[in-house]
Amino acid sequence: MNNCLTSDERLVIYTLSIKALRLDQYSGIKLKSGRMSPTFFNSGLFNTGESMNKLIDAYYSAIPKDIKYDGIFGPAYKGITLSSGLAMKKGGDVQFFYDRKELKDHGEGGQIVGGSIEGKNIFIIDDVMTGGKSVSDAHKLIEKNGGNVKGVAIAFDRQEVAADGSMSMSAVQRYEEEYGIHVYSAANLQTLINLFDKVVELSNPILQDAIIKYKNQYGVWKDTLQNKKALLIAELFYLFNFSKYSFQNSNHKSVIALLIHSHIISILSQSTSWVDSFIYK
């Protein structure tokens, strides 16, 4: 099975296995934003050598190989182990850096640990971008010290609008728009949605419905037509599975369930032009 999966899909499945990605199809899990979400990502549970290796491998796969960088910066605190791990994975003489929470006025001094960053091409690595402040502060610190930011990598992108009132874009999109720097994610919410229909063991119509409803309410769509198309198809597959379950388990073999079941099969058998026309309307 793993041989048929992409790097982001393997990461999500592993993350579920170590409970670093929690799922709650009923009441939801309270986020820092106050939202009740059916998903919650906790990078702190990548706390063994094996799990860290898998996470770093996913980061490494997410970063295009044609991007040249000679330094990796991880915002304290979680970014410290991530930057060192990615530097070891990349190998060679690539350096890793991180920041101090407070300025040091003795010894090597300064706020950056790892030597001089001046003139270096830097990749920022962090676990998530909830509000974006950590990565934005790191970007400013790097430029202040003469470095050039080439890109940002995060472990999991929730792909939802920020909860600070800027309801049109996510923290990732806001950073990309402000700095003109791309953010690469090792996995995202759409990865999980796609896996429900790709891996039989993960199939759960009730959970799928909860996640799709949450993304419909808080999800971001700017420049993500492909994701919107995928979400629409995921909704259709959810209806297909739910109606099929209802039909097979109903003592009365509900006529409505049968009609819905037949209708969805008809829709899914049509060409993707139907999906395109639906989205562009």
Q: Which residues are catalytic?
A: 104, 106
Per DSSP, what are the bridge partners of residue 153?
125, 184
Measure the CA–CA gap between 138 and 156, rounded to whole angstroms: 18
Phi-psi map region of 107: left, alpha, beta (phi>0 left; psi -120 to 50 alpha): left
Structure tokens at 82: 């991530």
Structure tokens at 265: 């099969």
| 90-109 exposure pattern, b = at least 16 Cβ within 10 A, e = fewer | beeebbbbbbeeeeeeeeee
Measure the CA–CA gap between 217 and 71, rounded to whole angstroms: 38
Residue tagged 């409505």 (tokens): 256
CA distances from 217 to 35, 62, 162, 172, 281 (A): 11, 27, 12, 18, 20
C-alpha distance across the termini of the chain, in Å:
38
Residue tagged 């934003």 (tokens): 33
Measure the CA–CA gap between 90 and 266, rounded to whole angstroms: 48
